[in-house]
Amino acid sequence: MLLLETMPFRRSKLIALALVASVLGGPAFGQGLQQPAGQQGLPSNAMQIAAVVNEDIITVYDVQARTGVFIATSGLDNSPEMQRRLLPQVVQGLIDEHLKLQEAKRLKIETTEAEVRQAVEQIEQNNGMQPGTFRKMLDSQGIDMSSLYGQIEADMAWMKVVRQELRRDVNIAPEEVKSVLVRLKANQGKPENQVSEIFLPINVTTRDADVRTLAERLVQQARGGTAFAALAQQFSQSPTAAVGGDLGWVLRGELEDEVDSAIARMEPNEISEPIRTAAGYHIVQLKARRASGESDPLMAAITMSQLYIPTVGGRAPDAAKAQQIAETVATKVTNCDDMNKIAAEMGGPGSGPVLEPLRIGMLPEKVRNVVVKLPVNRVSQPIDIPGAKLFAIVCQRQDDSGLPSEDQIYAKLEGDKLENVARQRLRDLRRQALIDVRL
């Protein structure tokens, strides 16, 4: 199934802490940054200026708080050496956040407290946590919530800048869509790899040895059980950091030669050693291998009808009646019209035709596991679901071709171009800004 997996959407980063599980095993910030000997609480220079970004000030405390978050959420060793390595990345991240907020303010784009709170609630929901649990958990570890709120606010404001202001600079020609579709068809059946990455660049402000050492430590952490996606979100300098380093499904030749060669020697679920390229160090995780463009049974589009027989409550038939209904379905239903008639006569609420076509993968797991193997116009055995037994019949099925639609390709191309425009705007903002780093 090629769909969008071969061309992954790279969403704007909402917050680097989406994988809250990583926090649970992390050290407390109160045990975090090293303090001068003999001092309690924050260092005496906590309010010292660490950097100036146009008219905004970043304090030493801001840097300490964000470094504490990095260490807690990644599971890295909380040592002075690690803090020193993280310092340039933390400071650059804070500078970028101020630039994003300043640009949003210039464009009169606002992010409300309610939106920030909703983002935190979404993090809790995504991790199966009760409302308010996230804040309590971070408070218990001494992590400053204001640092997280600042990061969320900046990322949400930048998302609005990208969507409202930069999208107008992106155009997709029909020929581009057709060209992608031709390429995807030509590559169907070729082997491809599902890969995630962490990229650490080498530039004029970094030393090769320092970046190599950090890369080696990240490999150790990933192999030791720290979620690769969490490490990518925190440390990778690739745009894919926003989605946990996910590159999706890639063909041989789509990545740098050094990375391609390393992947060819790997087994699924393996994490590479640091790979040096001209741009920096790469760490890759090989998740799986397959033939490109394989169809996905769960992406098949179907129309269906169903008979819903309650097993609890006042509408539930007695055992004899339930058995009679089951026998009627087994002997009388040969197509969807038959099912619809019986559903109208005997079924409970929810019985009858499903009005809209749907993907099999959208069905509840127990129903999905039966329907995915069910031939057209053959009624299923009764499926046990909470509070009921369900009979299902597939009326029509359109199998997945393994290729995305033109609309999906258009959306992917637009997303990629929009991402490039957003990166360029942020680079321009950096060049135009008055930035003074004092650490």
Does residue 221 sit in the same domain as residue 138? no
Domain that holds residue 242: 190-291
- The CATH number covering residue 246 comes to 3.10.50.40
Residue 392 to residues 19, 421, 430, Cα–Cα distance (Å)? 37, 48, 58
Does residue 123 sit in the same domain as residue 36? yes
Highest mean pLDDT (candidates 38-42, 78-82, 155-159)? 155-159
Among 237, 217, 283, 194, residue whose Cα is nearest residue 92? 237
What tokens does 406 get? 């033109």
Average pLDDT over residues 381-409: 88
Q: How many domains does the chain have?
A: 3
| Domain presence at residue 413 | no
pLDDT at 421 exceeding the cut of 60:
yes
Strands 270-271 and 280-291: antiparallel
Residue 341's H or E segment, with its range, is helix 336-346
Does residue 257 sit in the same domain as residue 147? no
How do residues 158-195 score in pLDDT, each as one tens digit? 989 998 998 888 889 999 999 988 988 888 888 889 99
- State the average pLDDT for the chain: 82
pLDDT for res 127 = 58
Query: How many whole angstroms separate alpha carbon 34 and alpha carbon 25?
Result: 20
Among 32, 147, 15, 142, residue whose Cα is nearest residue 83? 32
Does residue 47 sit in the same domain as residue 119? yes
Does residue 118 sit in the same domain as residue 256? no
Task: Answer yes or no: are the C-beta atoms of 62 and 50 closer than 8 Å.
Answer: yes
pTM above 0.75, yes or no: no
pLDDT band, very low/low/confident/very high, at 302 (cuts 50, 70, 90): very high
Query: How many whole angstroms separate alpha carbon 228 and alpha carbon 285?
Result: 8
| Domain presence at residue 94 | yes
Does residue 26 sit in the same domain as residue 161? yes
pLDDT at 313 exceeding the cut of 90:
no
Residue 86's H or E segment, with its range, is helix 80-106
Query: How many whole angstroms separate alpha carbon 87 and alpha carbon 318?
Result: 69
Query: How many whole angstroms separate alpha carbon 223 and alpha carbon 227?
Result: 9
pLDDT at 34 exceeding the cut of 60:
no
Query: How many whole angstroms separate alpha carbon 407 and alpha carbon 429?
Result: 33
Does residue 321 sit in the same domain as residue 365? yes
| Domain presence at residue 273 | yes
pLDDT at 40 exceeding the cut of 70:
no
Does residue 241 sit in the same domain as residue 312? no
pLDDT for res 129 = 67
- The CATH number covering residue 77 comes to 1.10.4030.10
Does residue 160 sit in the same domain as residue 221? no
pLDDT for res 96 = 92
Does residue 145 sit in the same domain as residue 217? no
Q: Lowest mean pLDDT of 246-250, 291-295, 318-322, name the range.
A: 291-295
How do residues 113-171 score in pLDDT, each as one tens digit? 899 888 888 777 665 667 787 777 777 777 778 888 888 899 899 989 998 998 888 88
